Amino acid sequence: MGYQRLLDDRVVLISGGTMGVGAATAIAAAEAGASAVVISGRRPDKAEPTVARIRDAGAEALFVQADVADVEAAINTVEATVSAYGRIDCLVNAAAVVDRGTLLETTPEFFDWHVAVNLRAPFFTMQAAVRDMLARQSPGSIVNILSTSMHVGQTILAAYVASKGGLAHVTKNAAHAHRFDRIRINGLNIGWTITEGEDAIQRKAHGATDGWYAKAAAGMPMGKLGQPDEIADFIVFLLSDRSGVVTGSIIDWDQNVIGALD
């Protein structure tokens, strides 16, 4: 993608920015002209390659170690961003857990873990980011990474679907609340995407072996799974002024058409 400096001089925070879609978005934001890109995650060793690529693209980079299941740690990622760079212009909530469990298998603890990471953390990072934008009377842009599974989802993802469905409605509610503050908030429902995390869970939960991706890709309409760099391009566009007045939108980024039947 020719980024055309779509995020010129923006300060961008990406939760879950050490791997997968979050890492791809962090690098894309730097290539799009962001002055600083902050990523959060649990493991410093996973952050190092992404931090290096952000800097190679010409932006300042900061890693904030955080397990966003701890709401104070989630809020601190925004506070650390503002402390380091004076403001936050863009926020991407990409951190998520997607473990397996049906309605009957899900324990309260398992349910609460999904809600803590996938719903509560984005809620309160948005709150902190919006407070900074309002204090500066400055516009801003937020993108929440959702999932096409929120429409109904697989039966083995009961808690995940609940958390992502909740985040979709939080996204629209917050967008409505702050539209006259010129803070745009949108959500992206991504379909089946190939990431390090997806590879690990396919092997752990489904017994996948080497070659599983080629078989899965062959069964998809476009002959491949979603690619993190392609999703990152779309996120950068949504964060940027080039996406115009769009706010409160929940966009299905997938190759299967939701609700369609053959």
pLDDT in tens, 174-192: 999 999 999 999 999 999 8
CA-to-CA distance for 249 and 262, rounded, in angstroms?
A: 27
- Number of C-beta neighbours around residue 66 at 10 A: 23
Segment 216-241, tens digit of pLDDT: 999 999 999 999 999 999 999 999 99
Average predicted confidence (pLDDT) for the chain: 95
At residue 174, what is the residue type? A
| 11-191+229-253 maps to CATH 1.20.140.10 | no
pLDDT by residue (tens digit) across 147-167? 999 999 999 999 999 999 999
CB 248 within 8 A of CB 171: yes
Report the alpha-carbon distance of residue 141 to residue 54 in Å, rounded.
20
Question: Beta-carbon neighbour count of residue 8 at 10 Å?
Answer: 13
Q: What pLDDT does 185 receive?
A: 98
Q: Taking the domains of the chain in order of start, what are their residue ranges?
A: 11-191+229-253, 194-225
Helix or strand (DSSP H, E) at 146: strand 140-147
Strands of the sheet with 140-147, listed across from one edge: 60-65, 36-41, 11-15, 90-93, 140-147, 183-190, 250-253
**8 Å CB contact between 159 and 98:** no
Choose between 204 and 254: higher pLDDT: 254
Q: Which residues are catalytic?
A: 160
Q: How confident is the model at residue 1 (pLDDT cuts 50, 70, 90)?
A: very low
Q: Is the pTM of this model over 0.85?
A: yes
Q: How far apart, in Å, are the Cα atoms of 208 and each of 19, 193, 197?
A: 21, 15, 13
Helices within 107-239 (DSSP H only): 108-115, 121-135, 158-177, 196-206, 212-218, 228-239
